[in-house]
Chain A
């Protein structure tokens, strides 16, 4: 397993606006292991989607560098498949055709049509939509559309699966159902996944690590929390689990603190000059076991 499968080094993003430069992100340092599930969480407008777009290659960082599997990310590519918040299915193509478009792009050089069709069907089967493959997107529910989006992303066997608030637009029952399904799929395929979310439960349930971003402008990684809960995880079994509760509390505490006073951490951060890349996983776990208020580490 590669410890630095996705590696973000000193990445920053500055936009040129009418009122001069706007720093959206600065000093982002993060390494994602192969097969790891990482969530990016933070208040809206903190730049978490911007960071995901940088990993996707849809935008270029103004500072620093991003690597995927040892190669610099210079643009978008099918090795980093994206599940969009609003599913982004092409409305004139059936579910099958939407997935096939992606499969054809990636595998048509090495496989024949029958194999491409088999791949498409297998992907739809994985998300339980074999029966709806010939329906158009407007004929199926929001949850089903998002499942097609996930099938489309996974069908091309990406190195990294990027999810941009994938379940944000769904009702809570559908969301829970799809989260369970994503847990199962990620476990069976071993895909590396990076997900943007603002749902604390979702982050704790799905992630191996939760990356918490400080409030923008000039957002950066405020804290990284390990989620040491054993897998396979079961939503119901975790309800009373003390480990789950302490993770949940740690994230809530971080987010709440930021909302009350976004600058609250600036002063202590100046004294704690340890860069966040040095925060060891062991240290995090230890803190969590002692149920301490997690130390806020922020380079400023």
Chain B
């Protein structure tokens, strides 16, 4: 009997770390292969077109750029860290303003059909306009580059927030509202315990879409307005004809955008609920 009982006890401990290692390997294999393909294609292009620097010179240049990310020696020589923070700051500013206006607007539009009828055509008309088309109006209104860039972010962030919030409010199951009615919950309690948790996943989807667009737009806006920021830096390096730095900027923009998206995706997963 002892010999029969012994094997199952030792079995699970053996492959557990092996399984985990295999899992990590399997998860990394795809991205590693994709990255390798990108580097190979890049290398081939740089061999054919001599103006485009290859991966290794670019990497060397990137290491140089990131050696002192927070140095500040002059208006046109600011560390990469400061540039990224300046761009992120503008995105945050514009996005927070958009959320402050867009979330309540979305709730109202989702709740009241009349308001939806009034606002829907206006949103449909304004939404497809490129946020950069609003930049001159921003410059005219605020007479400064920085608020104009924030204005462009505000405009492009607000539509996905409004539309997704309104959609989430419209999709709240009637059953949940019936629970609130049977219990006679107060308006605040209904909002806090039912409306908000029910709408939150939609709201986070809206946020993800608007942050994605905002990050696209800020680079373009900074190219036009100048000053600081990753977009301005990229344009500045174009004027200096430093193509390696341009490629570094492209990767930095890509990585920051990817991290923003991943962070919001994780947030969305945290607040999503499985319909029971």
Q: Does B31 contact A (CB under 8 A)?
A: no
Secondary structure of the A side of the interface? Answer: loop
Q: Do most interface residues of chain B lie in helix, strand or loop, or is the interface mixed?
A: helix
Chain B residues lying within 8 Å of A10, measured Cβ to Cβ, are: none
Assign chain B's interface to a size class: 10 to 19
- Interface positions, chain A 74-89, Cβ under 8 Å from B, are 75-78, 80-82, 84, 86-89
- For residue B269, CB closer than 8 A to chain A, the reply is no
- Whether B77 sits at the interface, judged by CB under 8 Å, is no
Residues of A within 8 A of B184 (CB): 75-78, 105
Segment touching B, from A90-98, A171-179, A211-219, A226-234: A90-98
Q: Are B276 and A84 in contact (CB under 8 A)?
A: no
A138 within 8 A of B: yes
Flag whether B197 is at the interface (Cβ < 8 A). yes
Known: A84-B175, A86-B175, A88-B176. A76 touches B181 (CB 8 A): yes
Chain B residues, CB < 8 A from A90: 176, 179, 193-194, 197
Question: Is B274 a contact of A101 with CB atoms below 8 Å?
Answer: no
8 Å CB contact of B273 from A76, A80, A84, A92: A92
CB closest residue in chain A, given B193: A101
Contacts of B250 in A (CB 8 A): none
Residues of A with C-beta under 8 A to B133: none
Taken residue by residue from 64 to 99, chain B's Cβ proximity to chain A (1 for < 8 Å, 0 otherwise) reads as 000000000000000000000000000000000000
Whether B183 pairs with A88 at a CB distance below 8 angstroms is no
Cα of A84 to Cα of B184 in the assembled complex, Å: 16
Alpha-carbon gap, A89 to B182, bound state (A): 13
Query: Please, what's the 1-or-0 string for B251-276, where 1 marks a CB less than 8 Å from any CB in chain A?
Result: 00000000000000000000001111
Report A-chain residues with C-beta under 8 Å of the C-beta of B176.
88, 90
> Closest residue of chain B to A104, judged by CB?
B189
- Known A92-B197, A93-B193: A105·B175 in contact at CB below 8 Å: no
8 residue pairs, one from A and one from B, having the closest CB atoms: A137-B276, A138-B274, A138-B276, A88-B175, A92-B197, A91-B273, A92-B273, A76-B181
* Complex A-B: 14 CB contacts under 8 Å: A76-B181, A77-B184, A82-B178, A84-B175, A87-B276, A88-B175, A88-B176, A90-B176, A90-B179, A90-B193, A92-B197, A101-B185, A102-B183, A138-B275
